[in-house]
Amino acid sequence: MSRTPSSRTPAPRSRLAPGDSVPARTLAPVVGPPLAVPDPARAVHVQFRRFAGCPVCNLHLRSVALRHEEIERAGVREVVLFHSPAEELREHVAHLPFAVVADPAKELYAEFGVEAHRRALLDPRGWPAIVRGAARAAVGLLRGRGRLPAASQPGGRTGLPADFLIAPDGRITAAKYGEHVYDQWSVDELLTHAAEADAAPA
């Protein structure tokens, strides 16, 4: 992020909903040039993930990376936030084809009303993804690829995912707050929301 992080995690604010507007800002990805949100030329999909190296997050982001060109053709820019420090995050996400932003103080998490809760891990609906993500991470380590997440996670391990589609004028056109660790938009759902936003009257 372009702001100096505070040492204290801010309390989450009220949840945002379609029709709400977000202020313009410049974010600094861990790799690549600064970017504007909202983007005056296209919609932005902002998704909130957990910590650097999170196996469940990596499982989902792989599906996004595989269809990134399709997302771009739909006129959507992908921006992913993690609540880990930039130097730690960079080692895990440098290969991804979209912007990844570090928010270790959880300032934007609070602004967008994105919460952490123990149900992130305790909800049985998320367990299959936890197993798949852990298995995929283990195979990668055995093959000499990837690395384990840091043992200590100051931002916690119980974060819930969230997705927001933001129009060029700053309006939120669609939003989702996850109920468990793997409760987020699929790429197909994202593309559907983008198409609906394009078809909506101005």
Q: State pLDDT tens for residues 134-191.
A: 777 666 655 556 665 556 667 677 789 999 999 999 999 999 999 999 999 999 999 9
**Contact (CB, 8 A) for 74 and 195:** yes
Q: Which two tokens stand for residue 29?
A: 């990805």
pLDDT band for position 5 (cuts 50, 70, 90) = very low
Q: Which two tokens stand for residue 56?
A: 């469940």
> What is the rounded average pLDDT of the residues 68-91?
95
pLDDT at 2: 45
pLDDT at 7: 44
Residue 6 confidence (pLDDT) above 60 = no
Q: Which two tokens stand for residue 160?
A: 């819930």
Q: What is the pLDDT of residues 33-66, one digit of tens each?
A: 999 999 999 999 999 999 888 889 999 999 999 9
Residue 95 phi, psi (nearest 5): -85, -10
Among candidate residues 60, 89, 62, 93, the one with its CA nearest the CA of residue 154:
89
Give the whole-angstrom CA distance, residue 44 versus residue 165. 6
**If you average pLDDT over every residue of the chain, what do you get?**
87
Contacts of 192 (CB under 8 A, 6+ apart): none
Residue reference for tokens 């989702």: 176
